[in-house]
């Protein structure tokens, strides 16, 4: 799979607001929605094709262009921080089918020697995934990659082709990118920023804090 950065200036602008410690809950949530929309447009631009179609304007017949595969999109919401992010993605893919996975790190266990957290997966509900589908797995933070690896295992076990999967994050740390791309080499990774490092608790630095807490608490 490919790893690529969302380089749209507005994505950087939104992410910078999200990083600010003074951005409060409502602004934080709205920022994640906006960022999701921009990332959706970038996914369309980066990996979807267009086709020419004949259309009729009120005056004449002419050629128009349509995005192919806009209807064949599945978005997987990794609870809970991804919820506003997914709301934004849905503005780019209004007819997407959605899956929900509740997965979280067991913070009390801490990181093991490989820099991995134990993950508990509490709820998995995915739509049927067809061979033509693009499956966007959204989680704003990719830290150690433990959560995303567990999520991707569930999705591929339900029959999804790893070639069709796009992992979308807002901020990713190098260990997470390495873990996911080693375990799932066919999966595409898309993020707005790659940050410097993880601290001892497995938080991304500089990062933006705990995205779930900032959006919901």
CA atoms of 58 and 3, how far apart (whole Å): 43
Q: Give the torsion sign (CA, 183, 194, 34, 209).
A: positive
Nearer to ligand HSX, 132 or 196 (CB): 196
Give the 3-state secondary structure of residue 28.
helix
Nearer to ligand HSX, 134 or 169 (CB): 169
Give the 3-state secondary structure of residue 211.
helix
**Does 142 participate in binding ligand HSX (rule CB under 6 A)?**
yes
Q: Given candidates 6, 38, 39, 81, which one binds ligand HSX under the rule CB under 6 A?
A: 81
Per-residue interface string for the shown chain with ligand HSX, residues 107-136, x marking contact by CB under 6 A:
----------x-------------------
Both tokens assigned to 204 = 């991304």
Check if the beta carbon of residue 161 is closer than 8 Å to that of residue 192: no
Stretch that binds ligand HSX, among 85-93, 121-129, 140-148, 156-164 (CB under 6 A): 140-148
Stretch that binds ligand HSX, among 49-57, 89-97, 121-129, 138-146 (CB under 6 A): 138-146
**Does 146 participate in binding ligand HSX (rule CB under 6 A)?**
yes
**Does 76 participate in binding ligand HSX (rule CB under 6 A)?**
no
Q: In angstroms, what is the minimal distance from the CB of 176 to ligand HSX?
A: 5
Q: In angstroms, what is the minimal distance from the CB of 60 to ligand HSX?
A: 50
CA atoms of 198 and 143, how far apart (whole Å): 7
Per-residue interface string for the shown chain with ligand HSX, residues 185-204, x marking contact by CB under 6 A:
-----------------x--
Cα 52 from chain centre = 29
Q: Given candidates 78, 86, 101, 135, which one binds ligand HSX under the rule CB under 6 A?
A: 78
99 φ/ψ angles, rounded to the nearest 5 degrees: -115, 155
Check if the beta carbon of residue 182 is closer than 8 Å to that of residue 53: no
Stretch that binds ligand HSX, among 22-30, 69-77, 130-138, 145-153 (CB under 6 A): 145-153
Quickly tell me which residue has 């900032």 as its tokens. 214
List all residues 6 or more positions away from 196 whose beta carbon is below 8 Å from its beta carbon. Answer: 173, 205, 206
**Does 38 participate in binding ligand HSX (rule CB under 6 A)?**
no
111 φ/ψ angles, rounded to the nearest 5 degrees: -75, 140
- Can you give the binding site for ligand HSX, defined by CB under 6 A? 78, 81, 105, 117, 139-148, 176, 202, 211-212
């Amino acid at each position: 799979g490919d790893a690529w950065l969302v380089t749209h200036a507005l994505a950087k602008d939104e992410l910078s607001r999200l990083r600010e410690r003074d951005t409060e809950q409502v602004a934080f949530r709205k920022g994640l929605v906006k960022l999701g929309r921009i990332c959706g447009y970038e996914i369309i631009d980066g990996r979807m094709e267009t086709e020419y179609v004949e259309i009729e304007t009120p005056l004449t017949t002419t050629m128009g262009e349509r995005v192919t595969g806009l209807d064949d999109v599945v978005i997987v919401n990794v609870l809970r921080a991804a919820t506003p992010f997914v709301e934004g993605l849905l503005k780019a893919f209004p007819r997407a089918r959605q899956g929900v996975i509740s997965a979280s790190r067991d913070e009390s266990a801490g990181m093991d020697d490989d820099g991995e957290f134990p993950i508990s997966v509490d709820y998995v509900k995915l739509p049927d995934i067809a061979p033509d589908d693009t499956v966007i797995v959204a989680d704003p933070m990719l830290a150690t990659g433990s959560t995303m690896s567990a999520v991707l295992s569930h999705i591929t076990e339900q029959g999804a082709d790893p070639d069709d999967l796009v992992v979308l994050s807002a901020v990713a740390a190098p260990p997470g990118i390495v873990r996911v791309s080693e375990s799932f080499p066919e999966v595409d990774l898309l993020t707005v920023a790659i940050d410097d490092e993880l601290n001892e608790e497995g938080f991304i630095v500089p990062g933006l804090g705990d995205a779930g807490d900032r959006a919901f608490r």
